[in-house]
Structures are given as C-alpha cells and as structure tokens.
Structure 1
C-alpha cells in the first residue's frame, strides 16, 4: 500500500483525528448510536489521531468494535499481501510516519487465525499483526478490548517504549476486493484496563 494523506469525501472526522488513505476510500461516518461506522469497498483508508501518549501514566489502550455480519472473504491467506485485509483493526504507532523508523502494532479481527496469533505485516515487517478476535468471533455483539501497549511493544518488537505517537482505526478490503462494514467506539488510553483482557494462546 502507498500512503496518501489528503482530503476526501468522507464525513468530517472527530476532533483531533484525520483521514489517511492508502488505497481508495473506506467511508467513515458517525451513527446515531454514537459509533464510527466504516464501509470498505475494495479500499483501505483509516482514521488516525496523532498525539503523544505517556505510557507510564496511561499504558492501557481500550476500544470496542462490532460488525453486523462478516464478509464472504477470498481464500487468500491474511499473512500474504493478497490477503492482508481485516474487518476491523486498531493500531498504535511509534515514531510517526517515518518509514524506516516506524514501529506499529495492529490489533485485528482475523477471519482465519485464533486470538494470540501474530505475524509481521507482509507489506511492512516493522508492523506486527496481533489477533484479538478470531474466526469464531461472533458478528453482532459489541466486543471490548484492553491492551497494555508498553508490554506489547516489548513482546512483539523487543522495545522498551514509554510513549507512542499515534493511534488509528481501519477497515480495509483493497486486496480481497470484498465489501465490509464495522463500527468502532474510538480507542482511548487509560491508567487501568476498561475491558476484560481477551485470553491469549
């Protein structure tokens, strides 16, 4: 994917967030229920908040997401470039958008791998894909997650970090070409976890 930051026809993003396009435009809009609904049609774009977060004070990243249904995905492996699409993902970024320095963790809803699975992103090896909801994850109900970001950077990147520079959400289908919709309660940081931690394998 090629990063392209530009104005789009999307709804106005929430305060302090902006739209970031990689390939086409995933549409984001605020629903009457107060969640941000994403609709991807062979597209990959997200909402990002660029703001330094002190992990010593607020190490826990908390969010919720849901989807009314899961798409009819192609058979392409999620660990390949051809299959690198997700119904929902939340990610945290260290070192901003500098390609050779950026480190990221993508927390994803996987269609084929169980929670606790992880692998380097096929496009950018410095980004680790971490499954928090797997193929058995039921469409319909809200699911809430809390992650200790400093601990995850140590585990997945072997880095001691005391801050991160950005957080983002994205629903993307640019590689598989399907239509996918998910709704997000935007991620936030806190001193304590706000949701029960999902089991890890």
Structure 2
C-alpha cells in the first residue's frame, strides 16, 4: 500500500469507522466463481450434500474455487487476500496469502446445529506476527478464522445492535446475520478466550488456537458449535446460514500465509 495520505470524504470516513474490525464474512455473500476444469485422476471428486459446506477438495488443485464459495470484500480500499486451491501434503486445500490485505471467502449453507453440532476443520500456519491479537483493534490481524453465521429473530436485537445492522446495510448493501461466531488463531490470547466485538454484541470471537508453538503443521480442530454458541451468546442458536474463512493482515502489514482443509458439520465427535 502507498504511504501517501489522501483526504477522506466524511461519508467514507463514517463508513470506515463503522466497518473497521467487523468480520468481512458477517456482511453477506457476493456472487463468485466456481471451480473450473476437470478434477485430477488421483483424487476422486468430493461433493457436498445440499445445504452443507462445500469441501475445498471438490475443486481441481489449480487455483480455482469450489462452486459455492464466493469472494467476500468488505473494505474495498484495501488489497484482497489471495485465495487459491492447491495440492499440499497429499490433498487439495485452500491456500491464503497476503500482505496488508483484508478479504475472505464465504459459503452459504443451511445447517441445523441441533442435528449436526460438531464442526471440524483443518488449518495450517507457517509464520505469524506474535503481536497480532483480537484484543486490540489496531492489532487484530489473524492468520486464520472460521466464521459461522446464524439465523435468528431480528426483532430481538437491541436498539444499538439494530442501529449498527441498519448502518452496515446502508453503507455496504449487505445484511448482517443475526449472530456471528468467529473461531480465530490469536497471537496472544489463550485458547477458549471469548471476546465481544466493540460495536455489536451479535459478533463474538472464540480463540481456537493461540501463539506460535503449533506453527508449520496441520492442526485438526473440532468444536461443538452449539455448545460454543450457548456459552458465548447465552442462548440457543438458530440455523447456521453461512460459513467463511478469513486471513487478514491489514493492521500490522506482516506477510501472512495459511492453508485451510475441508470444513464440515457432523452429528457426533470424531472419536465417538
């Protein structure tokens, strides 16, 4: 990014103040490209049931995205994170890379967390800035995030939350989900730490991995999303309407690189 400062119009300044730090994937989906080209003979095509999270391994490992995943851009004044499918460690995964970037990917779903409460994914980070933490708005880069959007009764929103939702829709054209739960890899905060977003109580962070001790290896993560939602929000969840990934580096401007494996919901834990 250029270091030259440019005047910001009042309306744009208000939009930036409102949207700064809000999760890109909480603002709704955008139409995006689908995977193109044949799958490799060594890897059979992986498909998803209707309403489920589309696996990254269903795409050819040629940089294309699986049909169902769409780019998501909230801050159009920032460069986009680059997302591509690739062949890594014997499987097709999603590769995210950027420096000073902020954008994500989103998949629209329809999932009942009562029937399939167990959320599983894999992620890998090789390097991360130890300063990065969601606990400080000016340092809130994360090498990996899994973002889950929930349906709910919008009439139950507080006046403050309703105002934030209306302003976000006004400035972006997209609607926030009733609630958003973000599983993050944080540079400082301990695992299981929960943090509420500064501007709305309907967006909450839960630290799923912390620090640098687990770098340069694939980590398999499993969470009971229903139990997590009840603990974080203090209520039962509605249906899950979207799942997203986000790798951002717009605050610290450090080079950031991560990989994501398939994401899915299941009726029981893996070791059951």
CA distance, structure 2, for counterparts of residue 21 and residue 162 of structure 1: 25
Do residues 89 (structure 1) and 141 (structure 2) align? no
Residue 169 of structure 2 corresponds to: none
- Give runs of aligned pairs for residues 164-179 of structure 1, distance below 5 A: 164-179=240-255
CA distance, structure 2, for counterparts of residue 195 and residue 186 of structure 1: 18
Larger Rg: 2
Segments of 5+ residues of structure 2 without an aligned counterpart are: 1-18, 34-62, 153-173
Q: Which has the higher contact order (CA 8 A, sep 6+)?
A: 1
- Give 1:157's match in structure 2, choosing from 218, 233, 243: 233
Residue 104 of structure 1 corresponds to: 180
Give the Å deviation of 1:66.
Answer: 0.5
Distance of aligned partners of 1:76 and 1:187 in 2 relative to their CA distance in 1, 3 Å threshold: closer
Q: Helix, strand or coil: the match of 1:171? A: strand
Distance of aligned partners of 1:77 and 1:15 in 2 relative to their CA distance in 1, 3 Å threshold: closer
TM-score by length of 2: 0.64
Distance of aligned partners of 1:194 and 1:123 in 2 relative to their CA distance in 1, 3 Å threshold: farther
State which drifts further: 89-98 or 179-188: 89-98
Give the Å deviation of 1:124.
Answer: 4.3
Higher helix share: 2
TM-score by length of 1: 0.84
- Asked if the contact 2:151–2:239 (Cα under 8 Å) also holds between the matched residues in 1, the reply is no
Do residues 120 (structure 1) and 178 (structure 2) align? no
CA distance, structure 2, for counterparts of residue 136 and residue 76 of structure 1: 11
Distance of aligned partners of 1:45 and 1:6 in 2 relative to their CA distance in 1, 3 Å threshold: farther
- Give runs of aligned pairs for residues 16-165 of structure 1, distance below 5 A: 16-23=68-75, 24-33=79-88, 34-70=92-128, 72=129, 75=131, 77-95=133-151, 98-99=175-176, 102-122=178-198, 124-165=200-241
Quote the RMSD (CA, aligned, Å).
2.5
For residues 107-139 of structure 1, what are the alpha-carbon distances to aligned partners after superposition, in whole Å with 9 as ceiling and x for unaligned? Answer: 111100111111012354421111111114321
